Structure 1
Amino acid sequence: MRSSKCNRCGRALKNPVYIELGYGKVCAAKMGISVPSKKRAGDAEEPVKKLGSFVPFKGDIICRRTEHGPEVNIPHRFVKHSPTGLEWGYGGSGPADLALNALAMYIGREKAEENGLYQEFKREFIATMPTEGGVIKREQVLAWLKDKGCDLNEAALEEA
């Protein structure tokens, strides 16, 4: 079940696109998350994707600490270990949820959970990240997934 509150500021979300994203318009922009723009008259027709259909994440994983606490540009869609939020810099439940949600953005939840793949990702990338935060490049994630034998589809490899 998706929250109807922004994962960053806690404000109520009403637009289904932002509910799916997990962030409001302003917070998404501050987190560096791209949001589909409104269609303007004269724009070319684009294929419409169903809300909830899997679209591989095209960005880097960005973690930082602010006066509001930890901020990540990955929504906390799947709460498996940590109901209190996403974390990094150690091997606990918050980092496990960050690893699961991050990999799910790239390859989908099922593949991320297969054979504990997200737990390996947590140990290698999330737990070792400095406490103040950092960036995990998309190219690093895709290379790691390829090394682990994960079958990456063409859509995930675009813009690599």
Structure 2
Amino acid sequence: MSDLQCPATFWFLPAGTRADPGADPGAESDGGPALLERLRTVLGATAVAGVYTGPAGEPFAAAAAAALDAPLHTTSDLHGHATDEDAQDAARRWQKAVEELADLYRGETVLVVGDEDTLRVVLPGRAAGVVRVEVDGDGWRVTERA
């Protein structure tokens, strides 16, 4: 990753995240209108330059992209943890993909939809949920959790 003059801002969102984090954990994820409304509230007037996901997150990411009026990009680099891959390898793959995106989106905001297990490894020490991260040549900084 090149040294950036200004960071790229990423919002990481586990596919199928509940709009109400206090909801019954056994209940099916809403992944729908309530969550998309929450995203619009969290993002405010911030324009989203793109929504990125792996193939498994595409249905949810497509709804988010439509709601945010942002282009959808599906890439195999952001797929979940494969059975023949350990969690650290998955995290390294994700980190490399995000850092490449940071080079493309200097000063812009991008939504990344992924599976919860992989995001827990990529963002260690962070509970599941919507997380804002700035990425530049100095590294990754978690700046907000919604």
User: Please, what TM-score do these two structures have when normalized by structure 2?
Assistant: 0.28
Structure ranking higher in strand proportion: 2
Query: Which structure is richer in relative contact order (CA contacts within 8 A, separation 6 or more)?
Result: 2
